[in-house]
Amino acid sequence: AQTVTQSQPEMSVQEAETVTLSCTYDTSESDYYLFWYKQPPSRQMILVIRQEAYKQQNATENRFSVNFQKAAKSFSLKISDSQLGDAAMYFCAYHSGGGADGLTFGKGTHLIIQP
């Protein structure tokens, strides 16, 4: 079974600074997808960014970018110019390319933004 590990239970960053959240995963498959989800205090799950394993180029969405290291099975999220609204739980998730299963999530990282 695939596993997703987020080793940082909590991270803190000053507003306007850059922070990187770590994620590693374990899989024997070659076709898969990786995601970062944000869960603010409202509890709504919001997709932040998505990476397809067969694409070498790292995904970017505005201030959010990933560092996808396929060989190392690492998928970190970088948030640039951190804003107060970025404060949330961030979950890394994995999905097998052809499977019907749902997403496999990590335990999450609680991101605190210091004003």
Partner 1 sequence: DSGVTQTPKHLITATGQRVTLRCSPRSGDLSVYWYQQSLDQGLQFLIHYYNGEERAKGNILERFSAQQFPDLHSELNLSSLELGDSALYFCASSVEGQAGRNEQFFGPGTRLTVL
Binding region for partner 1 (CB under 8 A) out of 56-64, 69-77, 79-87, 94-102: 94-102
Phi, psi of 78, rounded to the nearest 5 degrees: -110, 130
Buried/exposed code over 55-73 (b: 16+ C-beta within 10 A; e: otherwise) = eeeebeeeebbbebeeeeb
What DSSP designation does 89 have? E
H or E element that contains 54: none
Phi, psi of 3, rounded to the nearest 5 degrees: -130, 150
The tokens for 85 are 């609204």
43 lines the binding site for partner 1 (CB under 8 A): yes
Q: Which is nearer to partner 1, 26 or 81 (CB)?
A: 26
**Least Å from the CB of residue 88 to partner 1:** 14
- List binders of partner 1 among 54-93 (CB under 8 A): 91
**Least Å from the CB of residue 18 to partner 1:** 26
Binding region for partner 1 (CB under 8 A) out of 40-48, 56-64, 68-76, 78-86: 40-48
What does the binding site for partner 1 look like in residue numbers (CB under 8 A)? Answer: 32-33, 42-47, 50, 52, 91, 95-108
